[in-house]
Amino acid sequence: MKNLKLHKSVVTHVEQLKDAKLVQIIANGELCYSTNSSIWRLNLNDTPRLVVNLSLTDVYITPDCDNINITSYAYYEPWDSFVVGCSNGDVLLIQENIVEIAFKCEDLISNILCSPDFERIILLTSQGHITLVTECFESLNDFNIVGVELSEKLLVNVGWGKKETQFHGSEGKAKRVVKEVIGDEDSSDDSINICWRSDSLLFAIGFLDKVSNLRSIKIFNRDGILQYISEPLSGVEAVLSWKTTKELMSFSQHTNEKYLISFMEKNGLKHGDFEIPSTINVKQLLWNHDSSILCIQCADSNSNYLLFLSCTNYAWQIKKWMTIENKIITAKWLLDNSIQLITDNGIYYTLYWAETLCTSSPGTLDWVAVIDYSSVLLTPFKQVIIPPPMFDVKLTVDSPVDSVLYMPHNQSKNGNDIFIITSDQTVHFYHYTEESYVKSKTIYKVSNMSGIFNHWFWLNENTVIFSLSDIGNIHHICVAKIDDDFKQITKHIVELPVVTILNHAKGALIQLSDGQLLLWIEKLNILDPYLRLLEECTHLSIMDDKIYALGVSKRLFENDKVILNNIGSFCVRYPFVLAATLNQKLIAYNIHPTKDNNDQYHRRIESGSKIITVTGNSVILQLPRGNLETIKPRPLTILSAVELIQDQKYLTAFDLLRKERINLNVLCDLDPLKFIEDLNEFIIQVKDPSWISLYITELEDKNYLNTVYASQFQENNVQELDSKVFTICSRLMNTLEKLDKDIYAFPLLGCYVKLKRFDLALNLASMNNDYLKHLLFLVDVDRLYKASLAEYNLEMAMKIINNSQLDPKEYVPFLKELEKMECHYMRYTIDDKLGNKELALKNLVHCGGQFEKCLKYIIDNNLYSYSLTLFNQDQNEYKTIAKHFADLLYSKIDYKHAALIYNRSSERNKAIDAYLKAGFWKESLELSYELNFDDSKIKIIKSNILSMLSSTQKFREAADFAEFELKDSKLAVDYSIKAQDYAHALYLARSRSILDSDLEKYIKSSCLNTAQNLISDINSQNENFVTLAKRLVELKKENSSDTTQYDNLNDTSSEISSVSSYRTSSTRTSCRSARKQQRKMWNLKKGNFREEPTIILTLKQIIQKLENYIDNVKSICFLLVRFEEFDIGHTLQTTLESFQASILHQKSTVWPIFNETEQTIEDAILLSPLKIIPDKSWKLSILE
């Protein structure tokens, strides 16, 4: 499906070549030429350098040497030297201006040919004598081409029979007759031509056998030993060339009024051919480096031509026909796929070739046009996929086709129209209508300008742009109007050869050979710089205002950024760039990577595959041999389905998703609310109940476009719908029931199952046995059986057993037994079997007279809370159940709830003890009053309450209880002292007139003792705080100088939040070992890897104690002043003040102020400092 394009061209004039006798191209831009007695070497844009002049050398200094001329020469690349043949038979070696006679022949040397590896040199004399020598000019073989006979590789008869008895397939019996090959009538060309195979192992010599009057080809090995002789063929011409891929030789041949390029195997047998126009004569066959392009140099009576051909599926097609006005004297392919040729008037052409595709723009029928001489073979891939060389439509013109153009679809009402330019610059316009092409216009000889016309581009309905390369390396961009038949052409000079022209919103983009992109602005008719690519690119496309270009280095660029490497071909399909790599992968690159782009779509393809076009959700690839392969990448399929859904083409989208095995949730995941609105339209389009059932079966709550297909569909505007299955199935169920419940019975069953409405499903399934079978297909039979039992539908349960693989012996007796039971007891039995314990209990209660069984069922299944709701609080059953429930709670040490339940049972007195043990002494005492306990029992309860408060160290609460309930003021004072509420103790003692000197002394001593303890405790905390703060400063200095340690801190700091994960993730680690591990982690031991966060946590805990210290010191100091203990009060106040000052001073050390860029530590402890307010209102001025 590929054509050839002239990628760029350079045409220069070399004045020195006009009188040249023999011209050879050495390398790109370097050549050599000869006169009768001299050889010159020439670099373009430089002066010629003399290689040798026979009249000036020391080799020929005698007068009889004046008539010696140069008859042939060859450039010897390894030594950068020349091998020159002379008219006297001498072979000269010229190296570094040193001339020596390397070999002598008896006759004039007519041709010298080096092998590709330069290890062998063939010398051909005018008498047809061949001499093969080594690179050191040691003779290997010497023979006359006509007389040499086979000595090796002789044919052997293995007894396969005569030709007359062999099978010849479809050619029939006529093939059995051995046809006599008649000699050629025209045998005027008796020249000898020689060609080497590219691996230098064989060479072939073509010559005229004057006996048979036929040209014959003999194949020799690298030592000059004859290996094979060609079979007799008539019409063979003196043109011979070996393909660079080694397998075949090519030559021209006239047979039966046909002009052929034929192929021959190394054994001399013909191997196929193809026809070329008979109006020309072939002069030379030239193969590029990989034999993908064949250049035929030919001529007729008027001009010289270059024909460029390529092969697809063994069919050779003429892709380019170039007319060269003057005679071509030499031509050579270079490794960069350029061919260089020189004409007899000194014009030096450099033509760079590349493969190209002629495809219509997106939005059309996706035409692909293939050039074949004077025909254009067209295939619309949107409608039909036809492998080459076959086609769907063929358009034929009078002259060889040069280019085929399609107008950009956004510039035309019909992007299927075609524009054909022929080699004689005739333009043909074809309009596509009603599935056929009609010629609408022809313009003959659009321009008389000289030069090479190239890069034709159809911009819009009235504008055509092309490039023009003229002699002197002058390049133009030409703009022509179609409506005036190209009579006025605007030319813009550019500095470098043009490489590509492509469409742009403002006009056209032109790429030059250095990667520079110029923008031709149509409205202003000017060229402006647009963008510079990093290198020259062979293929460009524009999408979303971005340039995508494939460079010569096989890198794919997005503007000036490399996005993919190792790319062989690519094609754009918004929003994807589809690329075939050289390592056998097809990649879909999304140009809007809004989500994680690491999961990029790719799949394996055959080696050497090239992308031809993209149509719909299909990528058409052409394999190296020419066959086509269609691949449907998942991203394109999803994209096509989304477009169909947006256009409300639900049936087409459904069919596409089903065929490509894409989850049908995509139908609603793009816009769930819109899909719900269109449910009626969806059902009308799809119609088929089985398809609707399939869709319902695949419905899931998750959004597939955001999860499963997120890497293939990277869009941000995908909406999420909570309870998607419930919402869609509910609406779909209502819609189907309104349309026709019988037709859409299967989809309805699917909706019921998704909604878990098995009651409705079973009800519908009971109407038809087929419905039941379908329901059994949707739902597991055990689940459906249990659902029927849950509905107490024994008849349906029996049907399910009969229509399934369940064993009747196991299930039928149970069902029959159920039928005999009383209604509520049957339901109890069913619910109990299904595990519906609460329903079973409810049905058992309704049976009546079964309380003992109910109680046992409640106790066995722990249904206390639910069972209480089934009885009234006044009922004995209720109180009995409550009593058992409270006993259970009491045994589990849940005293609070046990007390509440006991209070509602028949044994309310037990609630008193439960309240007391739960710490609710007021409720306990209140209940005892409510139950009218006598004084002795109440006294015992009060005694228990006081013991409980004392044991739990609730001394302040015990003081109040002793004061108000026991009326024991002395006991209340004792408990106030224990609570360290000395002010309250003094108040009680004085108010109750029980304060004496001993009691006052006791209160004072207790207060002094508390003050001493506070001083000691505060000093200890202060010392610990200062020590840890100093260590923290040291750690910070170490971490700042050791970045590795800081990194370790950053890594380990996250473990603060991962401790619980660590503990729960290891199933083998006990709670005890987990606590031990945690203690190790938060150890203040020096050198611990978590030492710094542990110190900060400890400092934070110390600071948090400051608030309590302030409250305690404030109250104690107040009492000390009352007791006139000023010294100890001053000491206590000063100690706390010193501690507070230390904390305020070290705050910046514990929690430094981070910059935004420095806040990289993830530890919450380090980033959440405490608010420390420097408050001194607690101090007493009298103690300062």
Q: What is the pTM of this model?
A: 0.73
Q: How far apart are CA 299 and CA 282, in angstroms?
A: 7
Residue 363 covered by a domain: yes
Residue 826 has pLDDT above 50, yes or no: yes
Predicted local confidence at residue 519, as pLDDT = 95
* Same domain (yes/no): 67, 97: yes
Q: What digits encode the pLDDT tens for the residues 719-744?
A: 788 889 999 999 999 999 988 888 99
pLDDT digits (tens, 9 = 90+) for 545-600: 899 999 999 999 999 899 999 999 999 998 899 999 999 999 999 888 665 555 67
Residue finishing a domain among 756, 791, 814: 756
Question: Do 658 and 742 reside in the same domain of the chain?
Answer: yes
HSE-CB for 3 with a 13 A CA cutoff: 25
**Measuring CA to CA, how many Å separate 1098 from each of 149, 511, 822, 1163?**
105, 70, 71, 15
Residue 388 resides in a domain? yes
**Claim to verify: residue 1014 and residue 1129 sit in the same structural domain:** yes
CATH number at residue 382: 2.130.10.10
pLDDT tens for each residue of 299-337: 988 889 999 999 998 899 999 999 998 899 999 999 999
Both tokens assigned to 470? 């003229």
Percent pLDDT > 70 in the chain is: 88
Are residues 755 and 726 in contact, defined by beta-carbon separation less than 8 angstroms? yes
Summarised one tens digit per residue, pLDDT across range 1170-1183 is 666 666 667 665 66
Point out which residues pair with 1056 in neighbouring strands.
Answer: none
Give residues with Cβ within 8 angstroms of 598, minimum separation 6.
Answer: none
CA angle 411–417–421, rounded 5-degree value: 105
Task: Look at the block and give the residue holding tokens 């064993």.
Answer: 807
Q: Is the same domain home to 377 and 456?
A: yes
- Secondary structure of residue 844 in the 3-state scheme: helix
**DSSP strands (E only) in 105-154:** 109-114, 120-125, 129-134, 139-144
Mean pLDDT in residue range 347-373? 92
Same domain, 1031 and 986: no
Answer yes or no: is 239 within a domain.
no
How confident is residue 1089, by pLDDT bands cut at 50, 70 and 90?
Answer: low
1129 and 1027 in a single domain? The answer is: yes
Residues 464 and 494 in one domain: yes
Percent of the chain with pLDDT over 90: 44
Regarding whether 69 and 41 lie in a shared domain, the answer is yes
> How sure is the predictor about 1132, in pLDDT bands with cuts at 50, 70 and 90?
confident
Using alpha carbons, list the distances in angstroms from residue 556 to 118, 370, 503, 543, 826: 38, 25, 19, 14, 76
Q: Which of 756, 778, 802 is the last residue of a domain?
A: 756
The tens digit of pLDDT for each residue in 265-289 reads 999 999 999 999 999 999 999 999 9
In whole angstroms, what separates CA 711 from the centre of its chain?
7
If one counts the domains in the chain, the total is 5
pLDDT at 909: 86
Contacting residues for 1091 by C-beta, under 8 A, at least 6 apart: 1031, 1035, 1084, 1085
User: Are β-strands 202-209 and 193-196 bridged in parallel, bridged antiparallel, or unpaired?
Assistant: antiparallel
Q: Is the pLDDT of residue 209 over 80?
A: yes
pLDDT for 1061 equals 39
Question: Is the Cβ–Cβ distance between 255 and 301 less than 8 Å?
Answer: no
Q: Is residue 317 situated within a structural domain?
A: no
Do 695 and 646 fall within a single domain?
Answer: yes
Please state, as a whole number, how many other Cβ atoms lie within 10 Å of the Cβ of residue 373. 19
Residue scoring higher pLDDT (953 or 357): 357
Residue 404 lies in a domain: yes
Distance of CA 186 to the CA centre of its chain: 65
The C-alpha angle 351, 353, 354, rounded to 5 degrees, equals 160
The predicted model gives 1055-1081 an average pLDDT of 45
One domain, residues 381 and 529: yes
Query: What does 1065-1083 look like in DSSP terms, one character per residue?
Result: H-TTS-HHHHHHHHHHHT-
Does residue 527 share a domain with residue 665?
no
Domain of 661 in residue numbering reads as 632-756
pLDDT of residue 1011: 81
**Mean predicted lDDT score pLDDT of the chain:** 85
349: helix, coil or strand? Answer: strand
- Would you state the pLDDT for residue 697? 93
Does the residue 1098 lie in any domain? yes
The answer as to whether 803 is a domain residue is no
Are 1054 and 1176 contained in the same domain? yes
Q: How far apart are the first and last CA of the chain?
A: 103
DSSP secondary structure string, 860-885?
HHT-HHHHHTTS-TTSHHHHHHHHHH
The answer to whether residue 950 sits within a structural domain is yes
Cα 991 to its chain centre, rounded Å, is 88
- SS3 track for 192-259: CEEEECCCCCEEEEEEEECCCCEEEEEEEECCCCEEEECCCCCCEEEEEEECCCCCCEEEEEEECCEE
Of 1111, 1116, 1110, which Cα lies nearest the Cα of 1143? 1110
Long-range contacts of 382-388 (CB under 8 A, 24+ apart): 382/615, 382/616, 385/620, 385/628, 385/630, 387/313, 387/626, 387/627, 387/628, 388/1, 388/312, 388/313, 388/315, 388/622, 388/626, 388/628
Read off the DSSP letter of residue 411.
G
Q: Check pLDDT > 90 for residue 1046.
A: no
| pLDDT tens, residue by residue, 31-77 | 999 988 899 999 887 888 999 988 888 887 666 677 888 999 999 99
The b-or-e profile of 484-496 (16+ CB within 10 A means b, else e) is: eebeebeebebeb
Which of the listed residues 548, 566, 584 is the one where a domain comes to its end?
Answer: 566
Q: Which residues of 645-676 are buried (b: 16+ CB within 10 A; e: fewer)?
A: beeeebbebbebbeebebbbbbbbbbbbeebb
Angle at 896 between CA 892 and CA 902, to 5 degrees: 85
3-state secondary structure of 739: helix
Lowest-pLDDT range of 197-201, 679-683, 780-784, 1024-1028: 1024-1028
Question: Given a cut of 70, is residue 409 above it in pLDDT?
Answer: no
